Amino acid sequence: MINKVVISAAGRGTRMKHLAKNKPKHMINIDGKPFLYYVIENLRAAGLNEIILVTGYHSEYIEEFAESYPYPITIVNQFTVLGENEYGTALPIKIVKDIIGNNNFIAVAGDNFYQTKDVKNCLREDDLNYVGCVESEHPETQGVLVTDDNDYLKRIVEKPKEFVGNLVNASLYKFTPDIFDAVEKIKISPRGEFEITDAITLLAKEHKVKILRLREYWIDFGKPSDIPKLSRFIKSESR
């Protein structure tokens, strides 16, 4: 049974502007609680009880939150392990290998809000990896998933200049331990980062990755305008 989840929360959140100037954007308050609280609550509701938070930028804020949270949270500071000069979405996965061991696990971007039903749909105890995705009217601004007719992933194209599809990466993953070997093989991308999508593409070439379409509410918590949007959703869910 999958019960481990890795939450990537090391980034600076520059798109949040002044709201994340001196703290991680994951700690921005929504109706009196940090955004990260709602992320974790939905993950726990899906049955993921082993929470692993990968921190970095102003880690002390998240550490303080973890101490006050009523259930155990494991903190891994990416900056302590790798320093502050390496960047990329693959790094949080790289540094949790010993914690995960030989287990399947879920990985999410800590600045994304996922509904419990979609997370539960990822809890598949098989030998495949899965990438959550949604249809987008503007796929050229995101990572696009190119698939075959059976929903196997062929590759991920970041911000394609020409149309290759409209399914975009929602940064909700189910991984097998195969991801750790793939992460070790990737090189720095043209953006100067170690990209988890490059590691996933390596596994896709081995026919080890399928896509899962998210059916519920999903939000990329990146801009100040997302705060009232998420607040309205949370209030509507609590009625």
- Domains detected in the chain: 4-127+170-193+217-237 (3.90.550.10)
The DSSP string of the chain is ---EEEEEE----GGGGGGGSSS-GGG-EETTEEHHHHHHHHHHHTT--EEEEEE-TTHHHHHHHHHHSSS-EEEEEHHHHH-SS---TTHHHHTTHHHH-S--EEEEETTEEE-HHHHHHT---SS-EEEEEEE-S-GGGSEEEEE-TTSBEEEEEES-SS---SEEEEEEEEE-THHHHHHHH----TTSS--HHHHHHHHHHTT-EEEEE--S-EEE--STTHHHHHHHHHHHHT-
131 bridge partner residues:
173, 211
Of 58, 48, 49, 52, nearest to 26 by C-alpha is 58
Q: Which tens digits make up the pLDDT trace of 149-191?
A: 999 999 999 888 899 999 999 999 999 999 999 999 999 998 8
pLDDT digit string (tens) for 43-55?
999 999 999 999 9
Structure tokens given for 219: 């939000």
Mean pLDDT across 129-147: 94
Residue 59 has pLDDT above 90, yes or no: yes
Which pLDDT band, with edges at 50, 70 and 90, does 238 fall under? low
Check: CB of residue 226 under 8 Å from CB of residue 220.
yes
Most confident of 8-17, 20-29, 100-109: 100-109
Looking at residues 53-62, what average pLDDT do you find?
94
pLDDT of residue 195: 95
- In whole angstroms, give the CA distance from residue 236 to residue 230: 10
With cut-offs at 50, 70 and 90, classify the pLDDT of residue 18: low
What is the reported pLDDT for 212?
Answer: 97
Predicted TM-score (pTM) of this structure = 0.94
* CA 93 to centroid of chain Cα atoms: 10
